[in-house]
Structure 1
């Protein structure tokens, strides 16, 4: 019989599924509401709800995020890229070498900074060889996912699942337990991507190509006449901040270029004003009270360099209208266009609500590289200024690898080792205090901690046991191998349309309950949940690196499904069989 607490947990799970799939609420807000309801109802105690924040695996994830970001800010990896891809001219050759580098690297370093660091190089190589970046960006994301599944520290999903196991009273998994499935799948996945990426993936124009080919659609130029009433006034006083369909992005004054333009900037006679916006709104620039020359096409050589960035999955910009972000003041850059799902968004830019994965085209000022040092977005078409000395970065890389080896062979925990690496990075000024603060992803921390609490609620209420028993009634005749594959499939589908952390939080207690009911080894039923949550290839929204390449590659959902579905099937079949053989379930 279903109890009140069990029914409430089911209702909360349904709420999470709807909220996360619809995107109406941010993931951390959805989890906060869910846990709050469970606390008020008495399903969770306050200490159980907050226990996740003291979880060692969660702390390890935060440390890895901060440390991995050091590598993104150095040129040392670019030197490796230049050697690795020298002489490569074809998509298959590039993809094969990319998987060979990215997969082993992402096994030990967070894959989000790794993909962010690799994307500009992929762009520059594809332009040089006249190949569309859309042939290479999905394989880049998949290579990072495949590699991350090889070790315990390779993805946050693996660490979260291990954290759930430890909280439930089970032994912690070893760092290389995942390699029994992860390494063979890197080989299989790498060969698959090298053979079929060029055949399956489309050849799209990216946002920058679209801009270069049709820049006249983005900008219009006008000039302040000598007798204009706005001469001597600020941009704001002249009413140029409140135009209905156009946005002032640049002023050309003789040989000087002023961008972005502040509201307080004083206008002078003969200033050339560059606007961006809808062509249907151009007539508003011809109002007599503005005293501007008739709008005309811009000269391409007069335009500033345009920088292309992609909004990260945890950016504070998500859900905000452009005009409410104060983007120009914060980053010394003006947004001139936004691309989503491979197409330019029409309408007034200031009214557009920014979403994760959006590609922003920016007019960047001189201080842009200095100010854009956080993880709100990743620059993909212009190389960022590198601030970290290469020798120090190599020391950090060596420190992380040594931490893995030491923690795998001694009683010293990975958390302790990484803490030492972080301390050394701080005292050698490789990282500053503000950079450490920016590197800590509070949104991800909330999701992971509340995800652990949700798993606890499923156990406390009996919901996990109830679901496990009902699954067994149907699936037990098919044997443990089939059940293991079904757990993988269900976890993967949930992760594809929600988030991987939410999926593993829901499925973990169910999977463990099945193993305990059938008196089977726990390890395969723990790890299969991690593989199902992390090996996410069929949608762009299920994994953060997929979302990063989604907008910048101009992909559709269907593009991910075409190349990702066969890889997912391969992973489910081969992964399930390998796990079953490894733990004697066959």
Structure 2
């Protein structure tokens, strides 16, 4: 019996293991095929490709590490910067790259410029400078055609991305886009992707318009061995890429303008609704001031359209009159107090969307001094609080003791709370409040006995939205952009000086400046420099470059330019733009230094690399803007392929000859 039981247990475990293996194989068969294909491909390279036959063990090891890195990036096995750091660490341990090459990214001027420009872009965003364009954007109405709306949006926003990073621009105009969708009745899918594409294309108009442009220019200058036709080191002008970039931008916009309205190319879809299961709901109280340019004159229907059923305006206070569940046609007027009921994320978007919506209890004339350096905090009231429990909000010491103001409270009692004024609400233990306070609030009261938890909400400081800071921000931005082309100082110097002035003038607080920098992206770029150095030092870059030359040299320089564009364009669809550019640059550098392709101009190859690094339109994972548009527009993956693939091919047909004819001679 014991033997039978043992055999039965063993057979049971064997069957379970066998089922797991079958399940894994059925789910990962594509991965297995890819691994086998790569293995046989590497064997074939070693046997039949002369450039790879001379590759040493460090070269083969580096190539294997890069293939594993690409596999991990495609399958998203971890954060991008962590994967690049791990790959670089392995290459350093096995001495495939020296310390100078591994750390090159952390001393690179281009990366520091990108980092500082994050602060500049965030400051312009926070001052709500784009409010100047809102009347132009929101003048669209139901009589306007989709093509008219697209022209009003894509042309100025694309031009704006020539001077600012496209991501903060897109974040800033999302509320405007939502309002246009509500006003015109156009499906979000007809707006979100076209605007995203126009911003990406606009980045090809100048050196700072796209992060990849600065990255390529920095790599080329630091390389040292790349020269122009006269033997001089490469120097990339501010508008050097504009010759081909302007045609690239124009052709892309015409494509979007003509084909986006066609249902077969870009289907009408609506953004996904926010889930409401197990989500804490708030009641948010905001006062409509004279500065609320995007809210005054709107109807309740306009404010509520496009959000879930739990996110709505439950009350409108107008003087002594209280409108409970105001009608859909009710128009919002200056001086109204709005009571919103909904999820935290939705209410924060409302709060950030219009700088003229103030917390109840703060005077409009005191807004500049009271809100300039404020942030949002979610706090839970302790059951042992001696200052807050059992007191109405107006009786508490929030403004005096905590130097803050209550924006919203959790709606444990449903929406009945709105019947009373916010100041009359009696605070209970365990209740959660959304408050606006200075950065010092967290340091002073994170362990205060009146709160059980204090949670800072990063990146949600109130927009300033006043003419003084708007004017200061735009003047500083103009100086940052206009001075480098004169040759007086570099963009690195003006970016640092501009960011310092923006902080000094109060256009952005230090806390917001810290949170504006995408640390993971900066680390990704820095680590990718080290991986790129390993590609070059181990000989992999030279081997791949020689193989490309052998295959494409009969086509001449334009064949090499086309190969650069196609390879990087495909690579950037599955990994980050910066990673694709950094990994492929050593190959381009090796081709240029080798001199096997007679007449190939360094500028033509580098500008092709810049364009290809921006050409990410086929998948939503290829660019950060694509991911944002994917969620906002409710797209399917097939929508990107259907609309983006023809655009990718068209831009390649334009970009490759453009780089050849404009920069080859």
Q: Residue 215 of structure 1 corresponds to which residue in structure 2? A: none
Distance in 2, Cα, partners of 1:310 & 1:413: 42
Which one of 203, 212, 230 corresponds to residue 148 of structure 1? 203
Given that residues 480 and 491 in structure 2 are in contact (C-alpha distance below 8 angstroms), is that contact kept between their aligned partners in structure 1?
yes
What residue is the counterpart of 2:664 in the other structure?
584
Contact 1:516 1:522 in 2 (8 A): no
Q: Conserved in 1, the CA contact under 8 Å of 2:576 and 2:622?
A: yes
Question: 1:480-523 CA deviation, whole Å, 9 max, x = no partner?
Answer: 21221121011011000111111111211112222333242111
1:444-464: CA deviations, max 9, x gaps? 111111111122111111111
Distance 1:146 1:365, change over 3 A: farther
Q: Distance in 1 between matches of 2:341 and 2:433?
A: 9
Aligned with 1:198: secondary structure? coil
Mapped contact 2:476–2:502 kept (Cα < 8 A): no
Of 56, 75, 82, 2:135 maps to 82
**Distance in 2 between residues matched to 1:119 and 1:248, nearest whole Å:** 23
Provide the residue aligned with 1:43 in structure 2. 96
Q: 1:34 to 1:308 in 2, by over 3 A?
A: same
Query: What's the CA shift for 1:251?
Result: 8.7
Confirm or deny: 8 A CA contact 1:369 1:385 kept in the other structure. no
Give the conservation status (yes or no) of the 8 Å contact 2:378–2:456.
Answer: no
**Residue in structure 1 matched with residue 628 of structure 2 by the alignment:** 548
1:112-131 to 2 correspondences below 5 Å: 112-131=167-186
Q: Give 3-state SS (helix, strand or coil) of 1:247's partner.
A: coil
2:342 aligns with one of 305, 310, 325: 305
Deviation at 1:475, TM superposition (A): 1.1
Q: Distance in 2 between matches of 1:333 and 1:442?
A: 33
Counterpart of 2:271 in structure 1 is 206
Residues 1:485 and 2:562 are matched in the alignment: yes
Separation in 2, partners of 1:549, 1:504 = 23
Aligned partners of 2:346, 2:218: CA distance in 1, in Å? Answer: 34
CA pair 462-309 structure 1, distance change in 2 beyond 3 A: farther
Give the equivalent residue in structure 2 for 1:314.
Answer: none
Match of 1:247 among 278, 288, 309: 278
1:21 corresponds to which of 68, 74, 81:
74
What residue number does 1:262 align with? Answer: none
Q: How does 1:168-179 map to 2 (within 5 A)?
A: 168-169=223-224, 170=226, 171-179=234-242
* Pairwise CA distance, 1:573: 0.8
Cα drift, residue 571 of structure 1: 1.0
Q: Are 2:159 and 1:104 equivalent residues in the alignment?
A: yes
Cα deviation, 1:50-91, whole Å, max 9, x if unaligned, reads 221111111111111111112222333123121245245222
Q: Which residue of 2 aligns with 1:430?
A: 507
Match in the other structure for 1:185: 248
State how far apart, in whole Å, the 1-side matches of 2:77 and 2:436 are: 31
Residue matched to 1:62? 115
The Cα shift of 1:385 comes to 4.1
**Residue of 552, 576, 580 corresponding to 1:503:** 580
1:7 to 40, 43, 60: 60
Unpaired segments ≥5 residues, structure 1? 212-217, 220-245, 257-298, 312-326, 335-363, 377-383
1:281 paired residue number:
none
Instruction: Give the distance between the partners of 1:333 and 1:64, measured in 2 at CA.
Output: 37
Once residues 110 and 310 of structure 1 are traced to their aligned partners in structure 2, the CA distance between those partners, rounded to angstroms, is 26
- What is the TM-score of this pair, normalised by structure 1? 0.72
CA distance 1:373–1:431, shift in 2 (3 Å): farther
Change (3 A) 1:158 1:21: same
Give 1:372-411 correspondences, 5 Å limit.
374-375=458-459, 385-411=462-488
For these two proteins, the number of residue pairs brought into alignment is 460
**Partners in 2 of 1:48 and 1:13 — Cα distance?**
16
**8 Å Cα contact 1:138/1:549 also seen in 2:** yes
Equivalent residue, structure 2, for 1:322? none
Q: 1:468 aligns with which of 522, 526, 545?
A: 545
1:421 corresponding residue in structure 2: 498
The 1:375/1:538 distance shift into structure 2, 3 A limit, reads: farther
Give the superposed CA RMSD: 3.2
Cα gap change, 1:248 to 1:176, in 2 (>3 Å): closer
Name the structure 2 match of 1:367. Answer: 435
**What secondary structure is seen at the aligned counterpart in 2 of 1:43?**
coil
**In structure 1, what is the equivalent of residue 51 of structure 2?**
none
User: Which whole-Å deviations, capped at 9, do the CAs of 1:33-66 have from their partners, x for residues lacking one?
Assistant: 0110111111222232122111111111111111
Structure (1 or 2) with the larger CA radius of gyration: 2
- Deviation at 1:250? 4.4
Residue segments in structure 2 that go unaligned for 5+ positions in a row? 1-53, 227-233, 286-324, 328-338, 349-376, 381-406, 411-431, 439-454
Asked whether the equivalents of residues 512 and 526 of structure 1 are also in contact (C-alpha less than 8 Å), the reply is: no
Counterparts of 1:99 and 1:494, CA distance in 2: 26
Q: Is the 8 A contact 2:126 2:508 kept in 1?
A: no
- SS, match of residue 167 in structure 1: helix
Matches of 1:36 and 1:333, distance apart in 2: 48
Distance 1:119 1:473 in 2: 48
TM superposition score normalised by structure 2: 0.64
